Amino acid sequence: MKKVLTAALLSSFLVISSVAVNVQAVGTELQQSLSASEAKDMHIKLDGKLARAQDDQGKVSYPVIVDGRSYLPLRALGNLVGVVVGYDSATRRILIDTKTPKSPSFATDDGKNAPSVPKKANLVKDMYIQLNGEDTFPKDASGNLVYPIIVDGRSYLPIRATESIFGIKVDYDSPSRTIIIKTKNYVEVSSDGYTLETETNDKRQQANEIPVNGGKMKGKVGEDSLGTGSDVNIYDYFKVTASENGVLEYTVKGDAAGELRATFFDANENFICNKDLSIDNLISEKVGLLKGTYFIRLEANTSIPYKLDTKFTPYKEDIENNDEIKNSQNYTTGTTVTGLLGNFSSDTSKDSYDYFCITNSEGKTSFNYTVTSTEDVRITFYDKAGTFINEFDTVQGQLKGTVEIPSDQELIAPYYFAITGGSTKTEPNVYSVVVN
């Protein structure tokens, strides 16, 4: 989901360069003198924690204010977020390398304020930015080119430029005078235990990952990011990965009944099911799944806050590749097996067959069986060659009886049984069977 700064903040700037640069006198068309102020009463919050940016010598680098806009030194910002920053004096290029691993370094912030210090700044148009070996030309929120500003031999750039160059999200909290920086790996958790959804999950390829079991995510969908009515973010995508077979239960709590929809897709965005927010502002859905990757998409045309919870119940007994007699699951008489029919797979097909090989059936002339299920199923018995012996259906999910092995047929042990059926719901048909 996108967040947008206020008009004032959109024009505010964050200093991004702490590169030591000796500024030479150049033509007046390439430089402009500006008044600046070192803001020692301004703070930085990095991934939820207060921090002080430092240069390579460990000296704190404070934000600088120029014409009411906020700046931070580049090398100090690089140290803060773990990005390599250098300078090539021969070509007058600030070199930024986001691909080389670097450990972040910064000082703690005790929250205390100090008086601002007047500074002189120079806008420099003959200095360039090189990002991962390629020249880049940073722009402000209006799409205008921006140039480095030099204060005490250090280079600075606008806030919006730092976001695209460093791969970070920058915001500003005016009451506390705090620059808020979030790195791409930051996961923000609120006091109620819910993780806050990130700002770019309006496409499946950028879905937020949520645990398949015990996931707690909250956010807002359907908001107008620009306030113009032309850029409403109607989707939020969430990715869930089931490492085994089972039932996923997800719930969505909103505050506008009927205006929020949750849709469930497979890995290729093939539709599985959807449901709208109920009159009690709740969506609750159960889906039987084979192991794989799936997506939950929340959709609204008007701004709706929500909370998304996930719960997963695995069924370890049901191996789910036993859909054919040749792939039968080994079974020992007297063992109770719980399985699922009607699970969705990654291609949205449903599992309707489970085959079992009775490994200790040699010499048997009959079997007792007990079957229970949430929806009616059928148990069918075969011999080793797949020859049909008999079949029986549950009634209201209950079945108990005996199957005789005909002595007048050339039946070959070991014997097999299959549980077949499906589910008329998105959640699977859960069965339990024991054969003696």
Supply the pLDDT for residue 343. Answer: 65
Instruction: Name the DSSP class of 82.
Output: T
End-to-end CA distance of the chain: 56
Of how many residues is the chain composed?
Answer: 436
Query: Measured between alpha carbons, how far is 38 from 26 in angstroms, rounded to an integer?
Result: 25
Closest CA to 331 of 417, 219, 270: 417
Taking only the tens place, the pLDDT of each residue in 364-410 is 999 999 999 999 999 999 999 999 999 999 999 999 999 999 988 88
At 362, list the tokens.
């040699």
Supply the pLDDT for residue 146. Answer: 85
C-alpha 287: how far from its chain's center?
20
Supply the pLDDT for residue 340. Answer: 81
Question: Can you say whether residue 298 is alpha, beta or left, with left for phi > 0 and alpha for psi between -120 and 50 degrees?
Answer: beta
Task: Find the helix packing angle between 159-166 and 74-81, rounded to 10°.
Answer: 40
- C-alpha distances (whole Å) from 171 to each of 11, 46, 198, 261, 275 are 12, 11, 14, 30, 35
Instruction: Check whether 230 has a pLDDT greater than 70.
Output: no
Closest CA to 92 of 130, 142, 58, 119: 130
Name all domains of the chain by residue range, CATH numbers in brackets: 7-182 (no CATH), 195-314 (2.60.120.380), 325-435 (2.60.120.380)
Supply the pLDDT for residue 317. Answer: 55
| 3-state SS class at 149 | strand
Taking only the tens place, the pLDDT of each residue in 262-283 is 999 988 888 888 999 888 889 9
Query: Measured between alpha carbons, how far is 221 from 230 in angstroms, rounded to an integer?
Result: 15
Q: For strand 388-393 and strand 353-358, is the pairing parallel, antiparallel, or unpaired?
A: unpaired
AA letter at 290? L
Q: Are 135 and 128 in contact (CB under 8 A)?
A: yes
At 55, list the tokens.
């240069």
Supply the pLDDT for residue 170. Answer: 87
283, with CB counted inside 10 A (0-12, 13-18, 19+), is buried
Instruction: Check whether 160 has a pLDDT greater than 60.
Output: yes
CA gyration radius for the chain?
Answer: 32
Query: Measured between alpha carbons, how far is 132 from 37 in angstroms, rounded to an integer?
Result: 31
Closest CA to 234 of 224, 242, 251, 222: 222
Q: Among the listed ranges 43-52, 168-177, 180-189, 373-382, which one has the minimum average pLDDT value?
A: 180-189
Query: Measured between alpha carbons, how far is 368 from 401 in angstroms, rounded to an integer?
Result: 6
- Other CB atoms within a 10 A radius of the CB of residue 146 amount to 18
pTM given for the model = 0.49
Supply the pLDDT for residue 151. Answer: 93
Q: Are 118 and 84 in contact (CB under 8 A)?
A: no
